[in-house]
Structure 1
Amino acid sequence: MRLLSVIEFLGHFHPLLVHLPLGILLIALLLQWMSRKSKYVSLIPAIPVILLAGSCTAFASCITGYLLSISDDYDKSLVSWHMWMGIGVALVSLMLYAKEKNPAFAINKKMLSLGLLVLLMITGHLGGSLTHGSDYLTKPFKQIFNTDSIVNTTIKPISNVQESVVYTDIVTPILQTRCYSCHNANKQKGGLRMDEISLLMKGGKDGKIIMPGNAGESELIKRLLLPTDNEHHMPPKEKPQLTESQISLLHWWISNNADAQRKAKEFAQTDKEKFLLTALQTAPAVHNERTDIPATPVARADEKIIEQLKDRNILILPVAQNTNYLQANFVSDSMVDKKDLQLLVQLKQQLIWLKLHNTNTNDEALAAIGQLINLTRLDLSNTFITDKAISLLANITNLQYLNLSGTKITEAAVASLKKLPQLQSMYLYNTALSSKDKATIKQIFTKTTIDTGGYLVPFLKEDTTLVKEVTKKK
């Protein structure tokens, strides 16, 4: 096991080394071409030195590339071609160096130079295919002409989601846009391919990633739910991440035995799943830039405070790359106390997203939450807040997203938030609001999308409930 770790470590130097021979040898060929002119004849002594450097780095790249190929999983045929072309680069560059040092060497110099250039191009292309997929060169053109491509991360809306095949029309686009880049025919990180259902169900080196009927024990879901800074989180934090809705849909599919043939209407659906499925029928809104992340830079937060919050099982993460703005999530701790709130208030300049879903948050806590004036997203769903102190949220003038679902708030309390200038979305399902109250709220918040639940899915004649009698064994 230790030897394999050393091999893997050395193999990971390949991406670092592989660009050196490409650049060095191309410079050597350029100087060789320029030296044909009398005014550049002074470059000739430098050419053998550069060729030797390029040849040495080419051999180093070949060795580390081989080690990488046996410690990770790539398409064997593509790896083989890439390896032999790389070896060809190393050998031809060494022969060209010998020719430069000894013009009497019996081989055509022009043919060597031309052959080296061709080998460099082929080797580089094959390496790009291994890393980015065989269509990496054509992807930009597919995007320009709006043809289908894995790189197109916008999933097309489904005209009739209940008639769609769940795996083909819902699961596959999610995996295609978030997982295929590392788990495809050319590259299989961890020995896992996800671009075919049989291979997806087979799993990788560490076993199966999907346990049909048991999403909670499925490694796929476990990895998706890990914090992004965890080394086992998937996709890697530098890659585009799945949304909560997409994870929920994958969880739903696996819980329904990960069936690859059945349609959505044949799967069990809670109100939550009905809502998520209905949302797939509408094309997602396209925003040129995020408005829930302030454009104004902010200083880094106090690391000591962040560490204290993490020690209290509170998830603190940046909201995006290259920003000091933070999000706080109580996903691992349902008990919010005064100490937690005091620490959060000390991050009020950097904290813009706060999720308190399913915690013991009550009216007393709203006094502290109201001080988090830079919040743009606040989730108070399924907490113990009431009308008593809800007006304190009116101080958070940057708030764009507010979730009050599953609370005991009334129409009067919600109306007290009407002066929030930037509120774009508010969720109010499973509250004490009557149908009349909901209509009133929508009239008050004319510029805000109000979600009050109550989604209806048409009843289909094909819908059936199968009841089986269970006979106990004697």
Structure 2
Amino acid sequence: MTRLIFLQANAAQPSDWVLFFGRFHPLLVHLPIGFLLIAGLLELDRLTRRKSVSPHTITLILFWSAVSATMACVFGYMLSLGGGYDTETLSDHKWQGIGVAAFAWIAWSVKSENLGRIIPFAQLVYLPALFVSLLLLLAAGHQGGNLTHGSDYLTQYAPTPLRTLAGLAPKQKEVKIEPITDVNQAMVYQQIVNPILQTRCVQCHNADKSKAGLRLDNPDMIKKGYEDGPVLVAGKSSTSELVKVCLLPEDDDNHMPPKGKPQLTESQVALLTWWIDQGASFDKKVSQLVVNDAIRPVLASLGGGGPVTASAGGAVAAGPAPESPVLTMKVPAADPKVIEAVKKTGLLVLPLSKEQNQLEVSAVNARTYGDAQAALLHKLSDQIVWLKLGDTEISDAALAQVAKLKNLQKLHLEQTKITDAGLKQLNGLTNLEYLNLYGTAITDAGLTELVRLKNLKTVYLWQTNVTAQGLAALKKERPTLEIIGGISEQAVAEFAKATSADDKADESKKN
């Protein structure tokens, strides 16, 4: 979301080849900058110190500055076709770039004496042409920075004396993130949602830079959405682009924030999801919304407190930390040789804390990780409490090894090949509280297996094959289980209501 980019489904969308080559513009644009600056410095040295510089050397530098500037213009035009830039700034940048190329060619023509053969006194044009190209280079570079980082990127932190001297407006006050002392009284958008957007999204979705026509810097613009429609649907996080793009695989072109940028944490995604499901209000407090068991500890942590308990009206009340026992229990230290062997399969092995021996094992950099490598996991059955195997090649066979991790609390299986049959093997994970099944082939049959996981608190079911009927049955068996994604809770409730009405009708007919 630092550069939230959505697919543009209109007919004017440029081809992949055009966008591919356009991405080389930032690389090419540095060449004319270097060449022209070197030419300018050499000429300055020649004029001030009367040093002898080979005309051929300067001519060669000017030639490549003109060629590279021209190429930068072409590739820059291709990049601009992707959209998402301020029109006026883009136009200024484009014409300034063309001007750089044009005057670089003029300077080269005069220096190489090609133009002198045609136009008398052409040499008089040389230094002015070089000077103008350098001025336009500075202007184009500034506008390019504005397009990429916003119009106040260079001056944002300018001290007051410099701002006054340059005639700049007084420094804008930064968005104030109010500290949360009482989470029950916190304004949900202003104090919880907006800080997430400010740190992860607004850099590229603001008044100066609105990728895909989207701005996330104020409520009105958020409500307006982007060029293809609304960015959020109140009450339906499962159909809201704001959340959907965060849950895509990180390698997906439409995943936000883009790969390599700071990503949203699980807690931040959960907060955005909860806010949207609760109606995406911009003027309500936490105490005015329904706070479920899954979001309660996340909210409590924002106020510096521990996990929470429910109070009247769905509000949040701080309470003693009901910490999972597996996070504090004494477990033996893992065998260093085993850890090394697990790392060689491509997994990251990280301690949860310096004081404890519990481990987090992640396949974030091991997309080809498969069932064969998973055979080593059971050797860390005491220590592994968080396991992240999302977006790998594992299937149901690997879950036989996962089932041996008796202290497992969090399990990521999103975007894998697991099926309902694999979930049957997890029944013995009595400490499992979090399960991510996003993008898997799980159906209603698999949901029946989740009922047996008595400590399960949160399950992600985005883009699975579950139905409203299956979710209603699961909610009936486990009413406190937080189900994120799949079919909206409203749809489940409506289905359950309709089912109840049909049951009553059938009963009435029997009587």
TM-score, normalised by the number of residues in structure 1: 0.60
Q: CA deviation at 1:275?
A: 2.6
Where in structure 2 are the equivalents of 1:385-464 lying within 5 Å?
Answer: 385=429
Tell whether the 8 Å contact from 1:342 to 1:368 is kept in structure 2 after alignment.
no
How far does the alpha carbon of each residue in 1:234-262 deviate from its partner, in whole angstroms, 9 at most, with x for none?
11121111111111110011001211222
Corresponding residue number in structure 1 for 2:110: 99
Task: Tell me the amino acid that sits aligned with residue 164 of structure 1.
Answer: A
SS class of match (2:215) = coil
Corresponding residue number in structure 2 for 1:15: 26
Identity fraction in percent: 38
- Structure 1 residue aligned with 2:362, among 316, 327, 332? 327
How far does the alpha carbon of each residue in 1:214-249 deviate from its partner, in whole angstroms, 9 at most, with x for none?
112222212212222233221112111111111111
Tell whether the 8 Å contact from 2:18 to 2:78 is kept in structure 1 after alignment.
yes
Where in structure 2 are the equivalents of 1:66-465 lying within 5 Å?
Answer: 66-102=77-113, 104-105=121-122, 107-138=124-155, 157-282=179-304, 327-328=362-363, 342-344=375-377, 353-354=386-387, 369=405, 379=410, 384-385=428-429
Task: Tell me the amino acid that sits aligned with residue 281 of structure 2.
Answer: D
How far does the alpha carbon of each residue in 1:47-66 deviate from its partner, in whole angstroms, 9 at most, with x for none?
12211211121122112212
SS class of match (1:268) = coil
Q: CA deviation at 1:179?
A: 1.1
Q: CA deviation at 1:3?
A: 5.4
Q: CA deviation at 1:83?
A: 1.1
Indicate how the Cα distance of structure 1 residues 24 and 156 shifts in structure 2: closer, same or farther if over 3 A, else same.
Answer: farther
CA distance in 1, matches of 2:244, 2:238: 7
SS class of match (2:81) = helix
Indicate how the Cα distance of structure 1 residues 275 and 61 shifts in structure 2: closer, same or farther if over 3 A, else same.
Answer: same
CA distance in 2, matches of 1:119, 1:242: 39
Task: Tell me the amino acid that sits aligned with residue 130 of structure 2.
Answer: S
Q: CA deviation at 1:185?
A: 2.3
Tell whether the 8 Å contact from 2:386 to 2:411 is kept in structure 1 after alignment.
no
Q: CA deviation at 1:272?
A: 3.3
CA distance in 1, matches of 2:374, 2:97: 58
SS class of match (2:61) = helix
Indicate how the Cα distance of structure 1 residues 385 and 53 shifts in structure 2: closer, same or farther if over 3 A, else same.
Answer: closer
CA distance in 2, matches of 1:268, 1:211: 18
Tell whether the 8 Å contact from 1:35 to 1:44 is kept in structure 2 after alignment.
no
Indicate how the Cα distance of structure 1 residues 43 and 347 shifts in structure 2: closer, same or farther if over 3 A, else same.
Answer: farther
Task: Tell me the amino acid that sits aligned with residue 260 of structure 1.
Answer: F
Q: CA deviation at 1:191?
A: 3.0
SS class of match (1:272) = coil
CA distance in 1, matches of 2:385, 2:65: 50
CA distance in 2, matches of 1:223, 1:133: 23
SS class of match (2:295) = helix
Tell whether the 8 Å contact from 2:245 to 2:254 is kept in structure 1 after alignment.
yes
Corresponding residue number in structure 1 for 2:17: 6
Which consecutive unaligned segments of at least 5 residues does structure 1 have? 285-296, 307-315, 320-324, 330-337, 387-402, 407-428, 432-469
Corresponding residue number in structure 2 for 1:60: 71
Q: Which runs of 4+ in 1 moved over 6 A?
A: 297-300, 316-319, 364-367, 380-383
Q: CA deviation at 1:43?
A: 3.1
Q: CA deviation at 1:159?
A: 3.0
RMSD: 4.5
Tell whether the 8 Å contact from 2:106 to 2:126 is kept in structure 1 after alignment.
no
Indicate how the Cα distance of structure 1 residues 138 and 283 shifts in structure 2: closer, same or farther if over 3 A, else same.
Answer: farther
Q: CA deviation at 1:77?
A: 1.1
CA distance in 1, matches of 2:204, 2:349: 24
Q: Which moved more, 1:210-219 or 1:39-48?
A: 39-48
Alignment length (residue pairs) = 343
Q: CA deviation at 1:170?
A: 1.6
How far does the alpha carbon of each residue in 1:407-428 deviate from its partner, in whole angstroms, 9 at most, with x for none?
xxxxxxxxxxxxxxxxxxxxxx
Tell whether the 8 Å contact from 1:341 to 1:369 is kept in structure 2 after alignment.
no
Tell whether the 8 Å contact from 1:318 to 1:326 is kept in structure 2 after alignment.
yes
CA distance in 1, matches of 2:71, 2:380: 48
CA distance in 2, matches of 1:380, 1:230: 22
- Structure 2 residue aligned with 1:51, among 59, 62, 71? 62
CA distance in 2, matches of 1:7, 1:318: 41
CA distance in 2, matches of 1:95, 1:300: 63
Indicate how the Cα distance of structure 1 residues 115 and 341 shifts in structure 2: closer, same or farther if over 3 A, else same.
Answer: closer
How far does the alpha carbon of each residue in 1:265-294 deviate from its partner, in whole angstroms, 9 at most, with x for none?
21111233333222222399xxxxxxxxxx
CA distance in 2, matches of 1:327, 1:384: 21
Corresponding residue number in structure 2 for 1:288: none
Indicate how the Cα distance of structure 1 residues 159 and 135 shifts in structure 2: closer, same or farther if over 3 A, else same.
Answer: farther
TM-score, normalised by the number of residues in structure 2: 0.56
Q: CA deviation at 1:202?
A: 3.2
Task: Tell me the amino acid that sits aligned with residue 410 of structure 2.
Answer: D
